[in-house]
Amino acid sequence: MSDPDTRSDAEFVTFQAGGQSFSLDITHVREIRRWSAVTPLPHAPKEVLGVMNLRGSVIPIYDLSARFGLGPTAENPRNVVVVAMIENQTVGLLVEAVSEILSVQRSQIQDTPDIRSESTKQSITGVIPIEEGMTRVIDLAAVIQSRGRQAA
């Protein structure tokens, strides 16, 4: 009989942004949609492309590559929007392509190396070794909310 406390499988959706591999806990992902035009918002940060109507709800669309300082995502027919939910907020993440669903043991997730970058520490919670190198595990709340949250 297996001990339920040792069963620590986790699933992540992996995708490409800025030519790099990132992953998001599958429990946050609601759907993956083809890219379609968005309505820009005045004075929005450069990584917020605008808003999209998703079945009657208006959601912000973030360019994940731009958010991580990797430059804006180039237009490509393979681009998709990962629709995700965090703390009752639905957002869209523009990425170059979705790669796969990755199932791993929680013990395989390694700590983010200390590179003296607070924004990296806040938005990347760990790295997972994969065949092609590594994929970074993103903290969706930190990616979306870090601009508005300042240390008191």
Handedness of CA 121, 124, 129, 135 (dihedral sign): negative
So what's the pLDDT on residue 119? Answer: 54
Residue stretches of the chain with pLDDT short of 70: 1-8, 114-121, 146-152
User: Does residue 93 contact residue 81 with C-beta atoms inside 8 Å?
Assistant: yes
Number of Cβ atoms within 10 Å of the Cβ of 62: 24
So what's the pLDDT on residue 8? Answer: 57
C-alpha angle 30-99-63 in degrees, rounded to nearest 5: 65
So what's the pLDDT on residue 115? Answer: 63
So what's the pLDDT on residue 113? Answer: 73
pTM of the model: 0.84
Residue range 9-145 forms a domain whose CATH class is: mainly beta
So what's the pLDDT on residue 6? Answer: 46
